[in-house]
Amino acid sequence: MAKLSSLLYTLFFVLVYITCPSYSIKVYNVISFGAKPNGRVDSTPAFLNAWAAACASTDSATINVPKGRYLLGSSLAFKGGCKSSDITFQIDGTLVAPADYRVLGRGYNWVSFEGVSGVSIIGGALDAKGQALWSCKLAAAGTNCPSGATTLSFTNSNNIRIHGLRSLNSQMFHIVFNGCENVHVERLKIIAADDSPNTDGIHVQLSRNVVIMNSKIQTGDDCISIGPGTKNLWIERVTCGPGHGISIGSLAKDPEELGVQNVTVKKAVFIGTQNGLRIKSWARPSTGFVQRVRFLGAVMKNVQNPLVIDQHYCPHNINCPTQVSGVRISDVIYRGIRGTSATPIAIKFDCSSKNPCTGIRLENVNLTCSNQLEAQSFCTNAVGKTLGLVQPNMSCL
């Protein structure tokens, strides 16, 4: 009986092998399309032609970028509508931007994917050479500088995977997901100087079912920023620093905004950052909200503001709105968070007087002040409770 079962099992797989079509992958090497790995000749047309061929394929497709440096001298937009639902960029080299920041700086994006499905980026590096633009912005005459381009953006796309990519010296945001669904990001390394302006590591908005894991982000702004319309976001084992922390917001930029919900940040590590875990909104009317947020197991190492809710956000204190934030914040849990604060105020919850924060819960939080002063908390218009050991004392809650 056992031999008969084994024989039937084998016959089943033989029949499957015979009757099912073979799985094939078409490979497109950018060098075959004219790309030059010397970092001097513009390879933009070659990349676009390789994409067009992969996009037109009815099979799974891989666009191979061998070792070398490839100059992409203008904005590069990969459009959707492909026959192939599985296209992988296998990058073993580095894509480099022009030395003149003005070439990209007046556009919105350097490398963009629009309306695509089933795209993966594996390995490689993107060097946007943003240092000169940062210097322009930081100089006295910074008002004459272009805004700068996002290094890599995905818009209205789904089933996206990024693994092992490095993003260096972005002019503006490093990576943006806008209107996307089912995104998995892992083992990213993002690097920019700590004074580089507006160089958010990863920005997510109007997107759902996004996972960001096992990544290291060093930048001059938020390591991860979470905008309106984000739902079901999971962030785990991300190391941040330098940077401004992981932020929900800023919200209330517009009076009509979608909410942020179902966000989990687990086992993040913050090293010398301006903020740790932050929720921020401008003090103006808004239909926005933040709900069902879980901050779990974070470690703070000499962080200036470890836990922050700021509903009077105005980073440069110029032309600040004088209204009241309409953003409603509820059901936010801080659990198992420990480490050191570089300032005495380790926890600051500054909520809206019109819409107080509700359902705030702190469980087993232990934050001390790194300069030997006693750590303190500050909260206003915040309603919630504490469980277990919570340090500093949260009598203001």
Catalytic residue numbers read 244
The pair of structure tokens assigned to 196 is 């580089």
Distances in Å between the alpha carbon of 17 and those of 11, 14, 24, 139?
10, 5, 14, 66
Q: What is the C-alpha separation between 243 and 220, in angstroms, rounded?
A: 5
CB atoms within 10 A of CB 57: 17
* Residue at token pair 């073979």: 22
Round to whole Å and give the CA distance between 64 and 31: 9
Q: Cα dist. 21→16, 17, 24, 59, 85 in Å? A: 9, 8, 9, 11, 17
CA-based radius of gyration for the chain: 24
Which residues, at least 6 apart from 248, have a Cβ–Cβ distance to it below 8 Å? 226, 260, 263, 278, 279, 280, 290, 293
Is residue 388 within 8 A of residue 364, CB to CB? The reply is: yes
Q: Which amino acid is at 345?
A: I
